[in-house]
Structure formats: structure tokens, C-alpha cells
Amino acid sequence: MDGKIVNIAKAIKTKTIERRRDFHRYAEAAWTEFRTAAIVADTLEQLGYCVLTGDEVIEAEAMMGVPSLEELEHHMKRALAQNGKLSWIEKMKGGKTGVVGVIRFAKPGPVVALRFDMDANDLLEAEDDQHRPYREKFTSVNKGTMHACGHDGHTAIGLAIAEIISMLAEDLAGTIKLIFQPGEEGVRGAKAMVAKGVVDDVDYIIGMHLGTELGKTGKFAYGVDGFLATTKMDASFAGVAAHAGSDPEVGKNALLAAANAIINLHAISRHSQGDSRINVGVMHGGTGRNVIPANALIKFETRGSSTEINEYMQQQAIRVIEAAASMYGVTVSMNLMGSAAGGKSDFQLAERIQKVAKRLEIFTEIVKITSVGGSEDYTYFMERVQRRGGQGIATLVGATLAACHHNSYFDFDEDALELATTVLTSSAVELLTEKLK
């Protein structure tokens, strides 16, 4: 079976690259992936998958950091103008752009899920000859939005795997679920899909990312650990404006409350059971030098080496912010903008996938990464599967990069698309034939 998968992945390599470049050219940010998701849904349906989208895979109450209705409407119209299919886009109203493709094979077996993220970054892409997408005419036409993290590649890989799996269906047992997730940037999308129950029946789940720590094509990491749980929040302070010279005592200074909160947020005690982080990255407030500021906004995040440690940091942050608001007699409201769980790959599944990667003989180096030091909301999927008795792992497929992730010159070696397609398809097939051995 491995040889067959290798040959098919090679045969469709050009198509996979073309898909990646198409997604790159029409980059769409979190919750606005209407065109991308519509293409995914339509392709999966043509391949014989049962396709679920919109309300079927997204729990509205669990969505975080969603654009305004006006902005969503704008992006729906843009997707239609860029040849997105109306019948699919209509199902995704409200930004519910997740897609799940399912095939239940004739023979009994496990439920295996693979997850792919689809969204782009809020970034202005470079437009000069140093940048290959510009030279070869597939830079983003949606100005201010760019695939600078490889999710265009992830989506193309997901569709390539879908095609190969459909061709091998007669030899497989159980169920395959291909999960195409919106809103990974800002860790906004996975929680809403998990809350809808899309992985509640899953026995094995595998996530993948191109590049990151493996910045060279030919490398593969089979069991990635050390994801930090995180919470992203906005805190809006509301006070009372007043003349700063003649009536300062009438005012309630929201900006001072925010400043006091920032200082004390960074004074929260670190946790003894593992790594903990906090950072305030944005502060806005005030209207003029002679006006007591009536409004202020801070944007902050907490992180922890486990979900429990991050929850401690989040609770302490909320306590500090509410105390600062009370001190200055202002009110404060907090909005959850994104979050991710902690994550650790299952050793047993990781070892099985390592053997698959070695057997294929397509990688120059196979490694295990124990600490990524960052956050990825794929961990919500993995954590849910593990808590319900299943197994999950995160993997990395090396790709030589033109620039670092989230850089306006980001690009990756497209040979990595074929490698990722091959190893993930072979890994899924390994699990989908286990009952037949």
C-alpha cells in the first residue's frame, strides 16, 4: 500500500501545488474563509465524501474573535466574486466556515481524523522580485491578508489526501474524518468545532504543520509535545470624561485603571508546577491631553505549560483587572478572543507513525520534538480525543523557508507538499487497516 500511496502523491503533485497557489492568491483570514472552505467542500463532495459545514460543525456560542456582521457580509460577497460557490457559502453565514469530510468504509474499524487549518494572516504581502509568489504571480489579491504560515499548503495537502483515500476506499476499514478548520491564527476556530462534537467519536487524530522548527525540507517530527495552553482577551475600561484642569475630580480615569492593571498583570506570581506567561501587547486610551480619559482598551494573553496552569494565570489576570477598575471607580468588560489547550502527543501512536515514516524512506531525518514553546489550537481536538479514550499526536513536516513564519516574505519549498501528503496518507491507512491484520 505504501508504494501505491507514494506513486499517487507524486502523480498529483502538480495539482497539489496549483491548489496551494490558488489558496495563496485568494488568502482569507479567520472566520472569512468562505471561498477556501467552499472549494474544499465542493472538492470533497465530488470525491464521494459526506460533507458537513456551517451549523453542522461549528458551535456559534464557542466562536471567538469573530468579525462584525458587516465585515462577514463583505467577505461573503468577495468570495462569490472570486468564484466561490453560492450553495456552499450560504451554509457558512456568520463565519461558520469549518468543513468536515467523512467516508464510512464497508468494513468495521476505527474512526481516524486528520486536521488541516485554512486561514491566512492579517499581513501585507511583499511585492518585489525577491518574493517567489510575486515573481510567479500568485501573491494575495486580497490586500492586507497573506498566507504567511503555510495554511494554504495544509489545505492543499488535505485535499490531496482526500483524493488518495477515496481511491483506496475498498481496502480500508472504519471511518475517515478530514477536518478543515477556520481561525487557527489567534487560536479562535478549533474550540467551536470541538464544542460541536466533531471529534467525539474519534479513536485516532493527527495534526500537521509545515516548517516551524523543521525549517528544512526532508525532515519529519512524529510526536510533538510542549504546546502551551493560552487565553487571548480584550479588556475595555469605561470611566467618565471631564476637564483635566477645571474639573478633574468629576472624571473617572479609565486610562489610569488600564495602566495600573498592566503593571500588576506582569506582577502575577508564576506557577510552581510548570511554565507560565503573561503579556499585554496593546493599549489604547484617551482622546486628548486636557481630557480625563473615559475609555481604555488593553489586549493581553496568558499561557501555561498545561491547561490548568493557564487557567490559573487567566483567573489571576481577571482578578487584577477587576481590582484596578474598582480602584479608579470605572467599569470593565472582558471579551475572550481566542484560546488553546495544552497538548502532549500520545507515545504509542507517535511510535507507530514514526515506523510508517521510516518505512516510506522519503525523509532524510526523523526526530521527536518535546517542546515547541508556542500555542496551537489543534490541541483542543487532541485533548478532547484523549479525554474520551482515544489517541492523538501532532506532527511537523520540514519545509525550507524563504523567510520566517508570519513574515511578509514567507514562502516554503513546495516539495514538502508531496512529502506531507505521503506520510499523512500512509499514517491514516496504517490505522484504517489495523482491524484487517
| Residues 213 and 247 occupy one common structural domain | no
Listed residues 322, 340, 358: the one ending a domain: 340
Q: What is the largest CA-CA distance in the chain?
A: 85
The predicted pLDDT at position 185 comes to 96
Q: What's the pLDDT band for 373 if we cut at 50, 70, 90?
A: confident
Same-domain pairing of 149 and 49: yes
The DSSP call for residue 242 is: -
pLDDT at 404 over 80: yes
Helix H or strand E encompassing 333: strand 331-340
Are 176 and 47 contained in the same domain? yes
Q: Enumerate the H helices of 266-365 as residue ranges.
A: 307-327, 347-360
DSSP secondary-structure letter at 39? H
Burial of 128 (0-12, 13-18, 19+ CB in 10 A): exposed
Three-state secondary structure call for residue 285: strand
Tens of pLDDT, residues 138-166: 999 999 999 999 999 999 999 999 999 99
Cβ-contact 136, 45 below 8 angstroms: no
Helix spans in 26-85 (H): 34-46, 69-81
Q: What is the pLDDT of residues 293-334, one digit of tens each?
A: 999 999 999 999 999 999 999 999 999 999 999 999 999 999
Residue 281 pLDDT > 50, yes or no? yes
Residues 324 and 351 reside in one and the same domain:
no
The residue among 369 and 237 whose pLDDT is bigger is 237
Residues 219 and 236 in one domain: no
Q: Are 208 and 224 in contact (CB under 8 A)?
A: no
CATH number of the domain that 95 lies in?
3.40.630.10
Q: At which residue does the C-alpha cell 498583570 appear?
A: 265
Residues 137 and 210 in one domain: yes
How far is it, in rounded angstroms, from Cα 236 to Cα 175?
46
Q: Are residues 240 and 347 in the same domain?
A: no
Residue 236 is placed in which grid cell?
A: 475595555
β-pair type (295-304, 229-238):
antiparallel
Res 287 pLDDT > 60: yes
The CATH number assigned to the domain holding 317 equals: 3.30.70.360
Q: Is the pLDDT of residue 436 over 60?
A: no
| Pair 305, 228: CB distance under 8 Å | yes
pLDDT of residue 437: 46
Whether residues 293 and 428 share a domain: the answer is no
Q: What is the pTM of this model?
A: 0.94
State the Cα–Cα distance between residues 96 and 91, nearest whole angstrom. Answer: 8
Of 321, 340, 359, the position where a domain reaches its end is 340
Give the number of other Cβ atoms within 10 Å of residue 141's Cβ: 12
Tell me the backbone φ, ψ of residue 56, rounded to 5 degrees.
Answer: -70, -25
Query: Could you tell me which residues come within 8 angstroms of residue 417 by beta carbon, excluding any fewer than 6 positions away?
Result: 13, 16, 17, 20, 153, 156, 157, 160
One-letter amino acid of 41: A
Averaged pLDDT, 271-282? 94
The residue with cell 472549494 is: 39
Check residue 212 and give its pLDDT: 85
Q: Do both 376 and 297 map to the same domain?
A: no
- For the segment 215-231, the average pLDDT, to the nearest whole number, is 93
Are 348 and 199 within 8 A, CB to CB?
A: no
Query: What's the pLDDT score for residue 435?
Result: 58
Domains identified in the chain, total number: 2
Tell me the CA end-to-end span of the chain in Å, nearest whole number: 13
**What was the pLDDT predicted at 31?**
98
CB neighbours (10 Å) of residue 127? 13
Asked if residue 274 and residue 207 are part of one domain, the reply reads no
DSSP classification of residue 137:
T
CA–CA separation, 428 and 430 (whole Å):
5
What's the pLDDT band for 430 if we cut at 50, 70, 90?
very high
* 265 and 123 share one domain: no
Amino acid letter, residue 189? G
**Which pLDDT does position 371 carry in this prediction?**
75
pLDDT over 70 at 413, yes or no: yes
**Angle, in degrees to the nearest 10, between helices 151-167 and 415-432:** 50
Residue-wise pLDDT for 233-271, tens only, equals 999 999 999 999 999 999 999 999 999 999 999 999 999
Domain residues for the domain of 322 are 229-340
- Mean pLDDT, the chain, rounded, equals 96
Helix axes 2-11, 13-25, angle to 10 degrees: 50
pLDDT of residue 351: 96
pLDDT digits (tens, 9 = 90+) for 62-79: 999 999 999 999 999 999
Residues 235 and 155 in one domain: no
Let me know: does 195 contact 339? Beta carbons within 8 Å.
no
Of 340, 359, 376, at which residue does a domain stop? 340
Distance in angstroms (rounded) separating the CA atoms of residues 336 and 233: 5
